[in-house]
Amino acid sequence: MGVPSQHGPGDDLVPAWGRKLTVPCAHCGLATQRHRTLDFDGVNIYRPQAGPDPARVIEGEEPPVEQAWIALMPGDYPARLFADTEVYHLVGGVAWPGPHHRDYGSAKVVHDACCPGLHDTQPATSRGAGELWRAMRLRLARSSAHPGR
C-alpha cells in the first residue's frame, strides 16, 4: 500500500469547493478527510503527463490538470511512527507527501495505510499504522455492539 488510492473528479464522495471535506470511508465507514493532492501516482508529482524528460511534454501541449484526491485520517500523528509513504502535510489545503519541516514532528496520515476495511490483518508497514488499525477496529467493534450510540 505504498501509493494512496486516487479518486477522480467524478467520484461523488470527493468534495468540490464548498462541499464537506469529511466523508465516510467506502470500505470501513469511519470518517476521513479528503484533500486535493498533486501526488498522482507516487512518482510523477507535478506533471503526470510528462515523459522521461520532465521538461518536455509528450503531446506538445499540456492537458488540463486532473485533480487527485487523497483520504487522510482526522488529526495529527507523530511522523516518526509511520512510513514515509504514509505521511503527508497540508499547505494551502493541498496534501503534500512527507512531513513538513515546521510541523515539529506531527503529520497527517493516509487513511488507506490503516483502514480495517482494506487490511484483514494488522499492517506491518509501520508501527503507527498497526496501532491506528487496532484502534479503528476497536471503534468499529464498539459501534456495532452499541448501534444506538
Task: Provide the residue ranges of all domains of the chain, joining segments of one domain with +.
Answer: 22-111
Binned at pLDDT 50, 70 and 90, residue 114 comes out as very high
Per-residue pLDDT tens digits for 45-73: 444 444 455 444 455 454 455 567 889 99
Confidence label for 35 from pLDDT (cuts 50, 70 and 90):
confident
Q: Above 60 in pLDDT, residue 93?
A: yes
Please choose, from the candidates 28, 23, 5, 2, the residue with its C-alpha nearest in 3D space to the C-alpha of residue 13: 23
Share of the chain above pLDDT 90, in %: 41
Does 32 score more than 60 pLDDT? yes
**Residue 91 confidence (pLDDT) above 90:** no
Report whether pLDDT(39) > 80.
no
Over the chain, what is the mean pLDDT? Answer: 76
What is the reported pLDDT for 103?
Answer: 82
**What value does the mean pLDDT take over residues 118-146?**
93
Residue 84 backbone phi and psi in degrees, to 5: -60, -35
Query: What is the pLDDT averaged over residues 104-122?
Result: 93
Least confident of 39-43, 53-57, 115-119: 53-57
Q: Do residues 7 and 36 touch, judged by C-beta distance below 8 A?
A: no
pTM over 0.85: no
State how far the alpha carbon of 72 is from the alpha carbons of 23, 109, 131, 149, in Å. Answer: 10, 6, 16, 25
